Structure 1
Amino acid sequence: MRLEDMREQFPKMPESMKRMIEQEVAVQIGQEKENDNPKVVTYKKRKKKNMAHRMLVASMVAALALATTVCAGVAYQMHNQKVGKYGLKTQIEGPQTAAESTENMADQTTEERAGKAAEYVRLEISYLPKGMVQSEEGKFSFEDNYMQGGVSMIVYQLTPEKTIADIENTGIAVSEETSIGGRPAVYMETAPAEGDSAENSSTEGTANENTTGAKKIYMIYAEHNYLLEMFIFPDVTKEEAFQIAEGVSITPTEETRGENVMQVCSWNDMENEAGKGEPETDESETLMTFPKEKMKNIHLIGGEISLDQNGIEATPGLTAIVSDVTISDNISSLSENMLEDDTKAAFDTDGNLLPMKVEYLKSGDGINTVDEVVETKEIPMKIVSVTVDYKNNGKTALSNVMFNGGIALLAEYGENMQFDAYMNEKPGTGDIWDCVNEESIGFSQEVYLSDVHGGERHNNYINTINPGETVTVRMAFKVPEEKLNEMYFTLSNYGGSHFYDETSLQLGYVDIRQ
């Protein structure tokens, strides 16, 4: 997973929440006196982050606890200031004073910081839970839930000679001061929405086994001035997360690529960049609508599509035909090699596809209140199976051919086409809810099931297609019944299922509307 994607999935708080925290901290600190002089606190502006991944945002805002580490003469401290009931402001302090650090920061221009050569590290893991495998550098998932869930890690470079940018979090459920592998660390879990089916923590501020949300760990590797940020998804327990973290080793390397080699990011630069320029607009809105004329390259079921340039590597002579589309609602329509444990969770005991549960939320401020579930309902779903025939029309064999398939829900609005979400309902007059959470169980319009598995990780690859040979792949998706008349199928390896993508439009969508 790319760093920018990871940062996007776990954004910092909106400006309105940040101002509330700043005001509250100022009041609290203003009441404290040291030698009859009020303490001074400075704040950095940050841009509002994209809120497209609403469920992950709601599940991953968290809090940090006090920790100190000393190694090679460099001391770091993480100081917490609780704000309201759920807000937290955390400062990471290096050995210099704030005044000296501010002066040094001013002396170093953005160009000088940008000109510094990128640093790389080798991140290695000595323990993984049974069934968990590495899916990317810094990303580990369970084999039956590949590329989803699990844990993801990012390594940051700290600058001990400068003030380190603050960490601000809302929606704290529990936080814990701890030590992992001899390193001071902080662990946090999130507060579930009030009225959520998940059990709430019975003891505020203390980690316990009843919380079931996403988690996060921070650890400081003082010997190299590194900060490890570890995102822990709900399918990993606290105990497993601690065991994984204990076995993480991070060492500098001159290599820039290779197994377990990843680039280090500057914590300060990441945070400082977020505070520059005008407030960021929500780019997801601009990517949801595009002129209808760009849909001119539309294919019908049975039409041949050239896939010569449908990925990172060229596949000359490769074509694809969507030969069949079927609709069902029972697990019997899927072959056994398409099913995993997480897929089976989408069906009842008789094999019937379960409806999608939807929660209507009244957003909390993350400081004194958390999100509240004010209404729930169920959306009938259907299994959409798409059969694709891949053929090698070239003269040489093609190896490790990556294939992708996704269903875009596209609706016409005048002269424009617009990507539709599972749920695009907006609150009306008198509604107290302001956002929607959609249950994600089993499979969806993007994370498909398929009956062909190949490549090194036994996932969406065809091992070999010889000249003149055809390989048939069957994919299955879960789509709301009411959206079957909006379905367009994309074979693009670049995406195009949820937002405007030029490559997908050039390749052409397949009209599979029912």
Structure 2
Amino acid sequence: MKLEDIKYDFPNMPENMRQMIEQEVERQLAKPDISSRNRKTIRHIPKRRLAVAVAAATLALGTTVCAGVLYGLKNNRVGNYAYETKQERQDGVQDGAVASADSEHYVKVQASYLPDGMVQTEEGKYNYRDGRGGVTIGCYYMDTGDTSFEKLSYNVTDKEEVKVNGRDGVYLKTAMDAYNQSLYVTYPEEHLVLEMLVSSDVSKEEAMKIAQGVTVTPTEETAGDDVMLCYNWSRYLEAEKENALAEESGDTMDLSFSAKLLEKAKSVGTDMNMEHNGLTKLPGLTARVTDVQVADNRSILPEGMLDADAATAFDENGDLKSSTLSYVKAGDGVNTVDRVVKTEKSENKLIYVTVEYTNTGKETLTDIMYNGAIRLLETQGDRTKEWRRELEKPAAGDEWDYVVEEGLMLTAEVGAYDVHGGERGNNYIDALKPGETVTIHEAFVVPADRQGEMYLNLDNTGNTKNALENGWMVDIRK
């Protein structure tokens, strides 16, 4: 299960560096994939709410019996749209045993009911075949003790306490997000809290029917169609603490650098030395971007290149969809909710890239991780910065605070590719003999009006400055 799918961020580490480290560790240990997926919604969180960005949902449960101890979850309303929930033991009883703090806890999650047209796309994830949204299931493991569960939720517009197969749970609906419905169910005997995130195009009734058909079973297995790794509550607390520190210090993301660095970008057709582009040395490995094509229809792509997520970027005729931009005025999440002040369409382009990896050395290279990411580099004067929609800021007089973009897919690193290898069949070349070349195709989507700022980053850390300084960035502007 890809844990970032369910909105859990690891602070103070670049996303792409984290992805590289995760992939290397997972390849060696054969773990399930916990890298980030492409999201339908790209959202800028106002800084004053950064500290609670990871606390996007609440839990309101009744009294539960677990290991002979009665637990009650106290749910307090804060203002009009915020809720604080804390799991507490009942008066007169003692806490039960603290859950094991082992690093990994796997469960097998199976859904016996899905609405018509919805299919399982990976472990814990279910989407409609026609490209609409669906349901993503994950879980918390309470490795710090069951009574440490506490969450604060903002922008809640609808809440209902429910029963799911006799278990206490809560249904929540929040403002603005594409996946704006949540369902939480407690499994205290296993020290688990199950989370189900539901897209706006799935009805509440269908969401409840799906939940009633879900079974959760702890397992020793670490891989499989229904096996997922639970998210340790201690990691959630660490992320919350780091976010609070970032809020207190006023740290902001600076993606700018000297424009002179762009002079180091390579041209299409130029060989690049990739020997040190990874956690392990790969003597003799080179890469060359041989072709870059721009299209409006998926017909340019090889059959089977797109997974269920990526396919949602196209309509029934294979044409690339436009994005919907919602300009949002942020509420405080307590007494006021976020509201859309205007919407507009943004046209996109499909970028199809061909990269050749060649072994010019004398030894066979194995388990070669590769990456690709388009960076949109905007130059103003002597400074260049990475342009990202979620970092857009309003001009003087604008009523909005942040932009939500729905429909833009294939934007993440190696979002779609056609060479699969490694333990999990992802972005690895299994083996490359001396003198051998492997050709890789990758696909991305960018805003149509940003084609003149496109650069392809082949650095395995994803760091733009590092890629330019080491000669792993390619100028693909159109």
TM-score range, shorter chain: 0.7 to 0.9
Structure 1 residues 142 and 306: CA distance shift in structure 2, 3 A: farther
Deviation at 1:456, TM superposition (A): 4.6
Please tell me whether residue 230 in structure 1 is matched to residue 195 in structure 2.
yes
Deviation at 1:262, TM superposition (A): 6.2
Higher alpha-carbon Rg = 1
Letter in 2 for 1:154: Y
Structure 1 residues 222 and 151: CA distance shift in structure 2, 3 A: closer
Q: Name the counterpart of 1:154.
A: 140
Q: Name the counterpart of 1:71.
A: 66
Deviation at 1:473, TM superposition (A): 1.2
Letter in 1 for 2:297: N
Deviation at 1:335, TM superposition (A): 2.6
Please tell me whether residue 396 in structure 1 is matched to residue 360 in structure 2.
no
Q: Name the counterpart of 2:18.
A: none
- Give me the whole-angstrom Cα distance separating, in 1, the residues matched to 2:175 and 2:427: 36
Q: Name the counterpart of 1:432.
A: 399
Deviation at 1:509, TM superposition (A): 1.1
Structure 1 residues 356 and 393: CA distance shift in structure 2, 3 A: same
- Give me the whole-angstrom Cα distance separating, in 1, the residues matched to 2:348 and 2:380: 24
Letter in 2 for 1:280: E
Q: Name the counterpart of 2:453.
A: 486
Asked if the contact 1:345–1:441 (Cα under 8 Å) also holds between the matched residues in 2, the reply is: no
- Give me the whole-angstrom Cα distance separating, in 1, the residues matched to 2:366 and 2:54: 40
Match runs of 1:33-182 below 5 Å: 61-95=56-90, 118-128=101-111, 130-134=119-123, 150-159=136-145, 164=148, 166-180=150-164, 182=166
Structure 1 residues 133 and 191: CA distance shift in structure 2, 3 A: same
Structure 1 residues 266 and 425: CA distance shift in structure 2, 3 A: closer
Deviation at 1:182, TM superposition (A): 4.8
- Give me the whole-angstrom Cα distance separating, in 1, the residues matched to 2:288 and 2:251: 33
Out of 469, 472, 476, which is 2:439 matched to? 472
Q: Which moved more, 1:337-346 or 1:356-365?
A: 337-346
Deviation at 1:406, TM superposition (A): 0.6
Asked if the contact 2:457–2:467 (Cα under 8 Å) also holds between the matched residues in 1, the reply is: no
Letter in 1 for 2:368: V
**What SS class does the counterpart of residue 391 from structure 1 fall into?**
strand
Q: Name the counterpart of 1:443.
A: 410
- Give me the whole-angstrom Cα distance separating, in 1, the residues matched to 2:311 and 2:365: 33
Asked if the contact 2:374–2:454 (Cα under 8 Å) also holds between the matched residues in 1, the reply is: yes
**What SS class does the counterpart of residue 484 from structure 1 fall into?**
helix
- Give me the whole-angstrom Cα distance separating, in 2, the residues matched to 1:448 and 1:177: 38
1:360-388 CA-partner distances (Å, limit 9, x unpaired): 11222323332222211112222222110
Q: Which moved more, 1:447-456 or 1:471-480?
A: 447-456
Deviation at 1:487, TM superposition (A): 1.1
- Give me the whole-angstrom Cα distance separating, in 2, the residues matched to 1:333 and 1:267: 42
- Give me the whole-angstrom Cα distance separating, in 1, the residues matched to 2:55 and 2:243: 22
Q: TM-score, normalised by structure 2?
A: 0.73
**What SS class does the counterpart of residue 7 from structure 1 fall into?**
coil
Indicate the percent of aligned positions where both proteins have the same amino acid: 33
- Give me the whole-angstrom Cα distance separating, in 2, the residues matched to 1:371 and 1:261: 33
Say which structure, 1 or 2, has more relative contact order (CA 8 Å, 6+ apart).
2
Out of 242, 251, 272, which is 2:211 matched to? 242
Q: Name the counterpart of 2:472.
A: 508
Asked if the contact 1:342–1:441 (Cα under 8 Å) also holds between the matched residues in 2, the reply is: no
RMSD: 4.4
**What SS class does the counterpart of residue 63 from structure 2 fall into?**
strand
**What SS class does the counterpart of residue 305 from structure 1 fall into?**
strand
- Give me the whole-angstrom Cα distance separating, in 2, the residues matched to 1:149 and 1:405: 28
Asked if the contact 2:389–2:403 (Cα under 8 Å) also holds between the matched residues in 1, the reply is: no
Structure 1 residues 502 and 241: CA distance shift in structure 2, 3 A: farther
Please tell me whether residue 409 in structure 1 is matched to residue 337 in structure 2.
no
Asked if the contact 2:285–2:360 (Cα under 8 Å) also holds between the matched residues in 1, the reply is: yes
Asked if the contact 2:456–2:475 (Cα under 8 Å) also holds between the matched residues in 1, the reply is: yes
- Give me the whole-angstrom Cα distance separating, in 2, the residues matched to 1:425 and 1:262: 34
Asked if the contact 2:289–2:355 (Cα under 8 Å) also holds between the matched residues in 1, the reply is: yes
- Give me the whole-angstrom Cα distance separating, in 1, the residues matched to 2:239 and 2:439: 47
Asked if the contact 1:389–1:472 (Cα under 8 Å) also holds between the matched residues in 2, the reply is: yes
**What SS class does the counterpart of residue 483 from structure 1 fall into?**
helix
Deviation at 1:354, TM superposition (A): 2.8
Q: TM-score, normalised by structure 1?
A: 0.69
**What SS class does the counterpart of residue 9 from structure 2 fall into?**
helix
Out of 188, 210, 214, which is 2:172 matched to? 188
Structure 1 residues 436 and 275: CA distance shift in structure 2, 3 A: closer
Out of 333, 346, 363, which is 1:366 matched to? 333
Deviation at 1:71, TM superposition (A): 1.9
Deviation at 1:399, TM superposition (A): 3.7
Q: Name the counterpart of 1:209.
A: none
Structure 1: tracts of 5 or more residues without a match? 11-48, 102-115, 194-211
Structure 1 residues 386 and 274: CA distance shift in structure 2, 3 A: closer
Out of 425, 430, 453, which is 2:420 matched to? 453
Deviation at 1:405, TM superposition (A): 0.7
Letter in 1 for 2:140: I
Q: Name the counterpart of 2:248.
A: 280
- Give me the whole-angstrom Cα distance separating, in 2, the residues matched to 1:240 and 1:396: 56
Q: Name the counterpart of 2:275.
A: 308
**What SS class does the counterpart of residue 242 from structure 1 fall into?**
helix
Letter in 1 for 2:272: I
Letter in 1 for 2:475: D
- Give me the whole-angstrom Cα distance separating, in 2, the residues matched to 1:264 and 1:58: 18
**What SS class does the counterpart of residue 379 from structure 2 fall into?**
strand
- Give me the whole-angstrom Cα distance separating, in 1, the residues matched to 2:423 and 2:431: 13
- Give me the whole-angstrom Cα distance separating, in 1, the residues matched to 2:459 and 2:349: 23
Deviation at 1:418, TM superposition (A): 0.7
